[in-house]
Chain A
Amino acid sequence: ETGVTQTPRHLVMGMTNKKSLKCEQHLGHNAMYWYKQSAKKPLELMFVYSLEERVENNSVPSRFSPECPNSSHLFLHLHTLQPEDSALYLCASSQDVILWGQIYMNTEAFFGQGTRLTVV
Chain B
Amino acid sequence: AQTVTQSQPEMSVQEAETVTLSCTYDTSENNYYLFWYKQPPSRQMILVIRQEAYKQQNATENRFSVNFQKAAKSFSLKISDSQLGDTAMYFCAFMKHLIIQGAQKLVFGQGTRLTINP
**A joins B in a complex:** yes
Q: Is the interface of A mostly helix, strand, loop or mixed?
A: strand
Would you give the 0/1 interface string for B91-107, flagging 1 where the beta carbon is closer than 8 Å to chain A? 10001111111111111
Stretch at the interface among A13-21, A61-69, A71-79, A97-105: A97-105
Instruction: Give A89 Cβ to nearest chain B Cβ, in Å.
Output: 11
Residue B16, interface by CB 8 Å: no
A94 vs B110: C-alpha distance when bound (angstroms): 22
Question: B3 → chain A, closest Cβ, in Å?
Answer: 9
Q: Are A55 and B108 in contact (CB under 8 A)?
A: no
* Contact in complex: B98, A104 (CB < 8 Å): yes
Q: Is the CB of A43 within 8 A of B91?
A: yes
By a CB distance below 8 angstroms, the chain B residues around A99 are 98
Taking the closest CB of chain A, its distance from the CB of B117, in whole angstroms, is: 23
- Max count, chain A CB within 10 A of own CB: residue among B33, B42, B43, B47: B43
List, in ascending order, chain A residues with CB within 8 A of B109's CB.
42
Beta-carbon contact of A56 and B43 below 8 Å: no
Residue in A closest to B103 when the chains form the complex, CB atoms: A56
Most chain B Cβ neighbours within 10 Å, of A40, A43, A56, A92? A43
Assembled-state Cα–Cα distance A6/B98 (Å): 28
Interface residues of B in 36-88 (CB under 8 A from A): 37, 42-47, 50
> Given contacts A42-B109, A106-B33, could you give 19 more A-B pairs where the C-beta distance is less than 8 Å?
A2-B44, A42-B4, A42-B110, A42-B111, A45-B105, A50-B101, A56-B102, A56-B103, A90-B45, A92-B45, A102-B100, A103-B98, A104-B100, A104-B101, A106-B97, A106-B99, A108-B50, A109-B47, A111-B45
Q: Would you list the 5 A-B pairs with minimal beta carbon distance, nearest first?
A: A111-B45, A55-B102, A43-B108, A102-B101, A113-B44
